[in-house]
Structure 1
Amino acid sequence: MARNTYDLLSKLNPTQHFPIDSLLRYCSSNVSGFPHSPSHFTISQFGHGQSNPTYLIEVGDQGSVVKRYVLRKKPSGTLLASAHAVDREFQVLQALGTHTQVPVPKVFCFCNDSTVIGTPFYVMEFLEGRIYIDPKLPGVAPETRRAIYRETAKTLASLHSSNVDSIGLGNYGRRNDYCKRTIERWAKQYIASTSEGKPERNPKMFALIDWLRSQIPPEDSSGATAGLVHGDFRIDNLVFHPTEDRVIGILDWELSTLGNQMCDVAYSCLPYIADIGNDKVQNGLEHSGLPEGIPSLPEYLAEYCSLAGRKWPLAEWKFYVAFSLFRAASIFAGIYNRWVKGNASGGERARYTGRLANEIIDAAWQFIKRESVLPQHPPSVANGKDVLGLSSGGRFIPSQKVLTLRNKLIKFMEEHIYPMESEFYKLAQSEKRWTVHPAEEELKELAKKEGLWNLFIPLDSAAIAKKLLFDGSNNHSNDANDLLLGAGLTNLEYGYLCEIMGRSVWAPQVFNCGAPDTGNMEVLLRYGNKEQQQKWLIPLLEGKIRSGFAMTEPGVASSDATNIECSIKRQGDSYIINGRKWWTSGAMDPRCKVLVVMGKTDFNAEIHKQQSMILVDIQTPGVHIKRPLLVFGFDDAPHGHAEVIFENVRVPAKNILLGEGRGFEIAQGRLGPGRLHHCMRLVGAAERGMQLMAQRAINRKTFGKFIAQHGSFLSDMAKCRIDVEMTRLLVLEAADQLDKHGNKKARGILAMAKVATPNMALKVLDMAIQVHGAAGVSSDTVLAHLWATARTLRIADGPDEVHLGTIAKVELQRAKL
């Protein structure tokens, strides 16, 4: 749990008392708003931290609001040379607070006169907020954990982006040879701390120093990593807002200087490598298991590098981590030396720091001796981007453009979609379930601003639309038109993004990439005339309306579309539609304004020329939405799947798409990419299942062991991972062939993907449900809904038997060639 900044207060250490009257006189003259003759005055010491003693001052006049200030001073007694430079802390805080947006407490004054309280000190504002002592964040919700780590990476990137020359810190330190100088400095500090034998000198420390000297990376003042260094950047030196997951202050600037900023990055990553507790060092998060919500080390590094515009130094990473552990060991040795002398600010916790120093040295050597420094899912960051696609899937991302979109999409999902899932479900299960959650519309606008809108539109369709659609007759600028037409991606490129959306049943519509709208927009882009596009396509592209697709009928086997019986009869300038449809996806949505209806215009024509598609305004008289249909108990509100009766529905003849008898032609053009989108999303659903399965297995015990320790589970989980990876490659190959050869020539591999993907997703999700036990079949997780969706798509995308027939026919045709 987080600790309020008040929780860290303790009684004053008697050895560190200072003259109160002298302090009051100084503050009254030098601290803004400080009362001259306060009637109320208390001072308490903060127990957290092991360096410069820090105090809370509470002061006020009778009847007035108590004001709070923080005083930070040098320790008393004999100190190591150049240590505890509170004047430098004041300097950097003043510069950052005055000239940047880096979150730091406001400083009021610095006193270099030791006669006031015995040592130099400075006074700054008190920040009331949360401090997380334990980097595992126990008792914190998973979504909050992820937000905290993201904010930590963001804060470090903000600090490292400061232009020291423009804010008056250009001479704050030497920018070149930082690592070399720091090694020598802390080697001397270690020797000085151990000169009296408490703690005893560790020979492994001197071997570590020699190893570091031989591994120093090239450094110069103009290097990409040169800049302001905090020196002790870790999560417990950050103050978070009392209720919001954002940093309001970076504390403890004692070690700040100019130099190699990757040392800060490595130091902030130490919890992943070693758990340095109050009295012992244990395995870090990499090996002890990540609590749910905390990003992996690759994700944390990718977040920092993306925000800071930096490259992760893979080749030098072993040095940077060992360097950070070495420096920590030297610091702890110094703290123990001060504890022996009676002037350590950390209280009784300092008595264990001598032992901790030696355990940290051992941890450094263990890391150095690793065959690989990479964690389970290593990043490969180039120019701040993760070219391996972060930690789950997508190992062969085709371009930097797609990678950038994918990283933005993952971040959007984690920050906005997953945290809202429970709220969306609550509304969908309430009496008002056929209404749209206001947050969904807000997220859609945010997705537009992020450039994550209409990403499904293929490159060729976007090119067609630019010629046919945007001639200046709409009310959008050219930039807005480009936004409505997506990013101009190929089907293969979109596959890497669509998969991410599939991890939540709520995500696709937020990015205007949900079925059946994607297929219907494709139909209008490819086959609609100018008037149809202006009336229906533009509002769909804008996300102002939604649509439905009406093909399946209850009275016939609709897997063979030649069975369809709905009639579309020409009568003068109109068509009259009669028929009963069901599983009309989207028709229940209150935003649904238009239906794409498939029926027969000529019952006597050649069998594949009888069908046509026509646009029907859902408000047309004779259109009756009879009922919503349930999918394994889910009605998918507010979207829904409806049974719809068309009773003498009269629509203008101009609403016909492409012409009479062209329905099968349109269907084939629509259902190639559209149905492959389902496969892409199902891969994402399976990945979500894998994630939830793994988290459950490492946190839940059965028969005295964690589930993850049972051999049968490990075997089954490994097989699931193999299936996910194989299927992903099959789907991406199908998308690539669709791009290169078109729907007809790619029909064989498209059919393979449509068979393999839902079956794979069902297997993975079923195992995830099994691992969750009763929770898995409940609505407390997303697993049951994802499973129901996957099972439905084995029918909605055409039954396996039809696709298997297509695959076999393609094979036989190859044999004849």
Structure 2
Amino acid sequence: MATPLLGQVPPSHRFDAQALLSYLQSVVPGFPPPPATIQVSQFGHGQSNPTFLLEIGHDGKRSYYVLRKKPPGKLLQSAHAIEREYQVLAALDAKTDVPVPKVYCMCNDESIIGTPFYVMEYMQGRIFTDPGLSDLSPEDRSAVYRATAKTLASIHTADVDAIGLSKYGRRENYCQRQVDRWAKQYLASTGEGKPDPDPAMLRLISWLKNHIPEEDSKPGSRTGLVHGDFRIDNLVFHPTEIRVIAVLDWELSTLGNQMSDVAYSCMPYYINNRESPGPAFYGFDGGAPAGVPPQEAYLTDYCVAAKVPWPAETWNFYVGLSLFRLAAISAGVYLRYLQGNASGGKGSDLAGEFALYLTKTALKVAEEKSALPPAPLHLSDASGMDLRGFAPSPTVERLMKKLVRFMEVYIYPNEAKFNSHAFSDQRWTVHPLEAELQNKAKAEGLWNLWIPADSAALASKVLAVEEIKSQSANNKDWLLGASLSNLEYAHLCEIMGRSMFAPQVFNCSAPDTGNMEVLLRYGSPQQQRKWLKPLLEGTIRSGFAMTEPDVASSDATNISSSIIREGSTYVVNGRKWWTSGAMDPRCKVLIVMGKSDLNAALHKQQSMILVEMDAPGVRIVRPLTVFGYDDAPHGHAEIVFENVRVPADNLLLGEGCGFEIAQGRLGPGRLHHCMRLVGAAERGIDLMRNRALERVAFKKPLAYHGAFTSLLAECRLKIEQAKLLVLNAANQLDLHGNVTARGAIAMAKVAAPRMALKVLDAAIQTHGAAGVSSDFALAHLWASARTLRIADGPDEVHLQTLAKLELKRARL
């Protein structure tokens, strides 16, 4: 496979290729078996861990793999940690939309090829080693930089807690540790028997230590996964499209302050190749060529995609840190060159001069008043979001119009039919009209709108959606929704909340949305194939069994149901109630929470497991009613589990992970309820206005009685207040994830049902006797809203969370 980046393996990096071939045949599934042949060449780009292309021949066919290993010889402490590269690649490939190659194996046995190594997928594409992109048109240059900014944002918005990287590094004091680490490694590259330390570098180290941003010690919107060496030449682009298909070289990745990544990706704007003795891939030749966006435009694309604030106040530091770190690395490369261990060889002799140039450049940036202008007009300094604030984007506005029309044409006119069916002898069957409307929703692209953008990308991977599309006679573009943020979905969810029957028509109803989220983020590939795909398609439904009648379930540590391992199965025993969805004839699986180890720490005793509805020992005791409504055919069941044997493969994530899964599930789920409650209140105030204008009492319409006008104004005030809380919580969830947003979610969870009850009560009062009947939607909406002061955590629990956060602020 010809590529200008490949060459012969130098003597210092050669290894036993046949030993490697035998090892890979024994450990990598699907690897070409004997008598396969192997040919090894080395990528010459970069000066880090040696990287090789493995060309495997078998039966006249060729397959390609990439091997990455530690360099030979004595290494600086903590450098070249390829084990961490393997860990982060495996996590990102499995559970995010970050484009990375698939990894096949990690080998720490130095007897195979002399050093630890890992093997990954070979990504056939283009690598641009010139940041000026001289071979591209100006239009393509612009597109490459936009794709680069969005790819970096995708890394920074990855939920490290959800993908198993929560312990990949310390998030706070990242810049402090970076300055200390690279200062130490720089000093280790100088001194007795080595090059002398540069006085300017010592001055730069002192400046950096004295200018570390205050935000570095407070994890927040800028903290998360850090690539550590993010630049264009570490990206693989599609062979013909301007699209990133792989991010390479994760050696320096960790958790920490992500703005350091952003500044490092901007190095070409500060390094002038006409003055620099370093590699051309670090800078522009006298300035950015036509088409390459100015730094401010590139940063704007990143800030919008990552939803973070404009970094003007601290930009000098981050650029200085990036140049300093690169200088320290270059000094290490130069030392390895002197010792004969540089991985690439070419240009290593100039690395010492390059370190001096970088240091001089960093000090110049440090002395500037501000390396960045104020935020562009279309960015907000406070949030990094578009000045439209919480208003819907043009894409969401189009979806809102379609959704409103769908509700007006298909949902509201059929509510009476659904309601009559729910009170008939056939109420535990599905009304045939529901399937018909679901097909219309799919056709109009209004299906699975709840799926966040990161989850949609994740689902594409785990379900091979492109393959599903190509093999199906029916186009399934509808399967993964519109890839919206939580904030964007809030506007649509509100519209659905105006009818009790709407969410299920769009496959956006609880508990299925929460259960699908659980399977997406925590399910095994086997569990996803069996349950997630039919749930996404709407061919089955599910239930969530957590609440118990005999304990105060608002404290989930009280849950007494048991999930005990016996050989290759788990045995489930217990009694659950308010298992919504279990009465539905389409319900095929339950997610059950119970205790698996009474001797573990309090919040590690619980596990979650998938239990099939028809498993022996699962017995529905009765349907429960909510203020007289049994919500057929969906229903809320009381269920007994008597020695239910479940395959061990049905356990979610692992024993003791029940609370972790519950928190990941309940954050977005709680907020969906709040979004729908705003819609319920909007429906109430609409009906209230219309009724008051139509009805005459004491010789004038109700709308013109003073008592009504005050009541109407108060209702609007309450709706707007609650809506802003809900939108803010959705925005916080998008920016920071469940943990940081828990206070905003708790406020919305308390305020939204209280508000909805007040507004719906006022609407009922305006309707008089008709308001409490089933002739209008108000009574059913009110009953549902009242339960949500209890469901997913009662008000008292959320108020306690808010109080704890307030007290914590007092101690800071």
User: How does the TM-score come out when normalised to structure 1?
Assistant: 0.51
Check if 1:643 corresponds to 2:659.
no
Q: Deviations over 1:288-310 (max 9, x none)?
A: xxxxxxxxxxxxxxxxxxxxxxx
Which of residues 604, 608, 617 in structure 2 aligns to 1:609?
604
Cα distance in structure 2, aligned partners of 1:589 and 1:681: 21
Check if 1:667 corresponds to 2:662.
yes
Cα distance in structure 2, aligned partners of 1:546 and 1:705: 50
Check if 1:599 corresponds to 2:594.
yes
The change in CA–CA distance for 1:472 and 1:456 in structure 2 (over 3 A counts) is: closer
Check if 1:685 corresponds to 2:688.
no
**Alignment correspondent of 1:442:** 436
Length, aligned pairs only:
424
Do the aligned partners of 1:397 and 1:403 also contact (CA within 8 Å) in 2? Answer: no
Cα distance in structure 2, aligned partners of 1:493 and 1:471: 23
Which of residues 751, 755, 778 in structure 2 aligns to 1:756?
751
The change in CA–CA distance for 1:395 and 1:770 in structure 2 (over 3 A counts) is: farther
RMSD value over aligned CA atoms?
A: 1.5
Cα deviation, residue 715, structure 1: 0.4
Secondary structure, counterpart of 2:789 in structure 1: helix
1:701 maps to amino acid:
V
Q: Deviations over 1:759-788 (max 9, x none)?
A: 000000000000111111111111000000
Secondary structure, counterpart of 1:686 in structure 2: helix
**Alignment correspondent of 2:170:** none
Check if 1:815 corresponds to 2:803.
no
**Alignment correspondent of 1:629:** 624
1:642 maps to amino acid:
A
Check if 1:412 corresponds to 2:420.
no
Query: Mapping of 1:379-418 within 5 angstroms?
Result: 396-418=390-412
Cα distance in structure 2, aligned partners of 1:434 and 1:797: 25
Q: Deviations over 1:725-770 (max 9, x none)?
A: 1111110000000000010001111000000000000000000000
Query: Mapping of 1:786-805 within 5 angstroms?
Result: 786-805=781-800
**Alignment correspondent of 1:554:** 549
Cα distance in structure 1, aligned partners of 2:465 and 2:667: 29
Cα distance in structure 2, aligned partners of 1:699 and 1:483: 41
The change in CA–CA distance for 1:764 and 1:647 in structure 2 (over 3 A counts) is: same
In structure 2, runs of 5+ residues without a counterpart are 1-387
Cα distance in structure 2, aligned partners of 1:443 and 1:471: 23
Q: Deviations over 1:146-172 (max 9, x none)?
A: xxxxxxxxxxxxxxxxxxxxxxxxxxx
Query: Mapping of 1:214-229 within 5 angstroms?
Result: none
Do the aligned partners of 1:453 and 1:511 also contact (CA within 8 Å) in 2? Answer: yes
Check if 1:504 corresponds to 2:478.
no
**Alignment correspondent of 1:737:** 732
**Alignment correspondent of 2:489:** 494
Do the aligned partners of 2:418 and 2:431 also contact (CA within 8 Å) in 1? Answer: yes
Cα distance in structure 1, aligned partners of 2:580 and 2:475: 29
**Alignment correspondent of 1:421:** 415
2:431 maps to amino acid:
H
Cα distance in structure 2, aligned partners of 1:524 and 1:403: 30
1:408 maps to amino acid:
K
**Alignment correspondent of 2:647:** 652
Moved more, 702-711 or 779-788: 702-711
Query: Mapping of 1:689-708 within 5 angstroms?
Result: 689-708=684-703
**Alignment correspondent of 1:806:** 801
Cα distance in structure 2, aligned partners of 1:814 and 1:400: 38
The change in CA–CA distance for 1:711 and 1:477 in structure 2 (over 3 A counts) is: farther
**Alignment correspondent of 2:447:** 453
The change in CA–CA distance for 1:450 and 1:665 in structure 2 (over 3 A counts) is: same
1:534 maps to amino acid:
R
Q: Deviations over 1:468-494 (max 9, x none)?
A: 221777576599554211110000000
Which of residues 715, 719, 722 in structure 1 aligns to 2:710?
715
Cα distance in structure 2, aligned partners of 1:471 and 1:753: 35
Which of residues 507, 516, 534 in structure 1 aligns to 2:511?
516
In structure 1, runs of 5+ residues without a counterpart are 1-393
Secondary structure, counterpart of 1:484 in structure 2: coil
1:498 maps to amino acid:
C
Superposed structure 1 runs of 4+ greater than 3 Å apart: 471-482
Cα distance in structure 2, aligned partners of 1:592 and 1:546: 4
Query: Mapping of 1:41-56 within 5 angstroms?
Result: none
Cα distance in structure 2, aligned partners of 1:795 and 1:635: 17
Cα deviation, residue 595, structure 1: 0.4
Do the aligned partners of 1:612 and 1:661 also contact (CA within 8 Å) in 2? Answer: yes
Mark the structure with the bigger radius of gyration.
Answer: 1
% identical equivalent positions: 70
Which of residues 516, 522, 533 in structure 2 aligns to 1:527?
522
**Alignment correspondent of 1:566:** 561
Query: Mapping of 1:159-174 within 5 angstroms?
Result: none
Which of residues 465, 470, 474 in structure 1 aligns to 2:464?
470
Do the aligned partners of 2:592 and 2:609 also contact (CA within 8 Å) in 1? Answer: yes
Cα deviation, residue 535, structure 1: 0.3
Cα distance in structure 2, aligned partners of 1:469 and 1:401: 26
Cα distance in structure 2, aligned partners of 1:513 and 1:468: 20
Cα deviation, residue 697, structure 1: 0.2
Check if 1:432 corresponds to 2:426.
yes
**Alignment correspondent of 2:173:** none
Secondary structure, counterpart of 2:508 in structure 1: coil
1:494 maps to amino acid:
Y
The change in CA–CA distance for 1:784 and 1:476 in structure 2 (over 3 A counts) is: farther
Cα distance in structure 2, aligned partners of 1:766 and 1:509: 25
